[in-house]
Amino acid sequence: MSSNVPQTEAVALCYENVIGACVEAPYSPGPRAVLSAVLGFGAALAACGSLPVVVAILRFQQLHAPTNLLLASLAGADCLVGVTVMPFSALRTVESCWDFGESYCKFHTCFDTSFCFASLFHLCCISVDRYIAVTDPLSYPTKFTLSVSGLCSLLSWFFSVTYSFSIFYTGNNEEGIEELVVALTCVGGCQAPLNQKWVLLCFLLFFVPTVAMVFIYGKIFLAAKHQAWKIESTASRAQSSSESYGERVAKRERKAPETLGIAVEAFLVSWLPYIIDAVIDAYMNFITPPYVYEILVWCVYCNSAVNPLIYAFFYPWFRKAVKLIVSGKVLRSGSSTINLFSEEADID
C-alpha cells in the first residue's frame, strides 16, 4: 500500500551537517557561466583598467602634476577594489555561499567599504581641483600644488579606512541589533548589516561629498561654457591661423564639462540605489532579498570599473601611454621623458 504523504525535497546547504548553515541556491550551468564571465570581466576591468593609469602617471615625467596625482590615487583605489574585493564577491554571488571564513569576511567588508569610499572622496577632491583650474587658471599652480594634492589623497584614504575598520572590524555595526543579526546570520554567509546610527553616518559620508561634487561640477560647466564662448568670440576676430587654434581650444573647453558630467552621472547611477536601500533596510529590519542586495552591491563595484574609462581613456595622453606600456617601450632607458602631448592644445 503506497503512502500519499508528499516527500520533502532535500535542501542544499553551504555546509552539510553543520547546524545553522546557509541555504545554497546555485544557478543552473548556463546562467552560472554567463554570470561568472560578466562578473569576472568587471573585476578584470577595474583592476587592469586602473593599473595602467597608476603606472603611466608614476613613470612619465610629463604627468607629474597635482591633478594626475589624485587621478593615480583614485585609480589605485579602483584597482584594489578589482583585486581584493570583486573576485571574492563574485564567488559569493555565483556560489551563493562564502567559503573564505569569518575572519576574512570582516576584512573583505572593511576593504570593500574603505576602497569604495576612498574612490568617492578622491572624486570629490578632483572636482575641487578642476573647479580651481577652470575658474582661476592663473593662480591655480600656486593654490593646488603637489603638496596640496598629496594631502587631499592622504586624507581621503585616512577617513575611508578609519570609518570602515572602526565600524565593521570592531563589530560596532551590530550594536543594538544583536538579536536581529543572530536571526539573519548563518554559516556560509558574509553580510554586514548596519544599525540605524551608523547607517546615518554612512549616508552623510555619501550625501555631503555628492552634493558638493554636483554643485561644483555645475559651476565648472557654466564657467567652461563661458570661457569657450569668449575663446570663440576672440578667434572670430583673429587671423586664420589663430582662428584654427582658438577653435581647437574652444572644443576642448566644451569637452571638459561633458566628460565631468558623464562621471557624475555614472557615479550617481552606481551609488544612489545602494545607499537608499541601506538606509531603508536599517529601519525596516533588513527586508531586502539577498539577490537584490547583490545587484545593488555590484552596481557600486561597477563604478570602479567605469572610472578608468571616464577619467583616463578619454584623454589622448593615456592612450599613448598604454601603447608604450603594452609594447614594453616603457622599460627602455629614457622613456620617462617621452613627449605624450603631440599638440599644446591637448594638454590638460
Mean of the per-residue pLDDT values for the chain? 81
User: C-alpha distances in angstroms, 186 versus 39, 143, 168, 182?
Assistant: 25, 53, 18, 8
pLDDT tens-digit profile of 133-192? Answer: 888 888 888 989 999 999 999 999 999 999 999 999 888 888 888 887 787 788 888 888
User: C-alpha distances in angstroms, 279 versus 122, 256, 347?
Assistant: 23, 34, 43
Q: What is the DSSP letter of 63?
A: G
Torsion of CA 25, 29, 34, 36, to 10 degrees: 60
Model pLDDT, residue 243: 44
Which residues does residue 13 pair with via DSSP β-bridges, in sequence order? 23
pLDDT tens-digit profile of 302-327? Answer: 888 887 777 666 777 777 888 888 88
Query: In one letter, which amino acid is 147?
Result: S
Distance CA(175)–CA(57), nearest Å, equals 43
The model's pTM: 0.83
Element (H, E) at 29: helix 29-59
Model pLDDT, residue 58: 87
Per-residue pLDDT at 242 exceeds 70: no
Model pLDDT, residue 245: 47
Query: In one letter, which amino acid is 330?
Result: V
Query: In one letter, which amino acid is 81?
Result: V
pLDDT tens-digit profile of 111-130? Answer: 999 998 998 899 899 889 88
Torsion of CA 79, 81, 85, 87, to 10 degrees: -50
Model pLDDT, residue 5: 43
Q: Between 270 and 244, whose confidence is greater?
A: 270
- CATH number for the domain formed by residue range(s) 29-193+289-346: 1.20.1070.10
Q: 21 by DSSP, 3-state: which?
A: strand
Q: 13 by DSSP, 3-state: which?
A: strand
Query: In one letter, which amino acid is 76?
Result: G
Q: Where are the domains of the chain?
A: 29-193+289-346
By C-alpha distance, which of 294, 304, 299 is closest to 84?
304
Q: Between 174 and 252, whose confidence is greater?
A: 174
User: With contact defined as beta carbons under 8 Å apart, do 187 and 22 qualify?
Assistant: yes
By C-alpha distance, which of 290, 150, 188 is closest to 281?
290
pLDDT bracket for residue 231 (50, 70, 90): low
Query: In one letter, which amino acid is 339?
Result: N
Per-residue pLDDT at 73 exceeds 90: yes
- How are the residues of the chain apportioned to helix, strand and coil, as percentages rounded to the nearest 5? 75, 0, 25
User: With contact defined as beta carbons under 8 Å apart, do 264 and 214 qualify?
Assistant: yes
Phi, psi dihedrals of residue 187, rounded to the nearest 5°: -75, 125
Q: Between 348 and 30, whose confidence is greater?
A: 30
Model pLDDT, residue 348: 40
Q: Where are the alpha helices (DSSP H) in 85-236?
A: 86-95, 101-135, 140-143, 146-164, 178-184, 196-236
pLDDT bracket for residue 82 (50, 70, 90): very high
CA 84 remoteness from chain centre? 13
Per-residue pLDDT at 285 exceeds 90: no
44 burial via Cβ count (<10 Å: 0-12, 13-18, 19+): middle
Distance CA(345)–CA(348), nearest Å, equals 8
Range of lowest pLDDT (221-225, 293-297, 299-303): 221-225
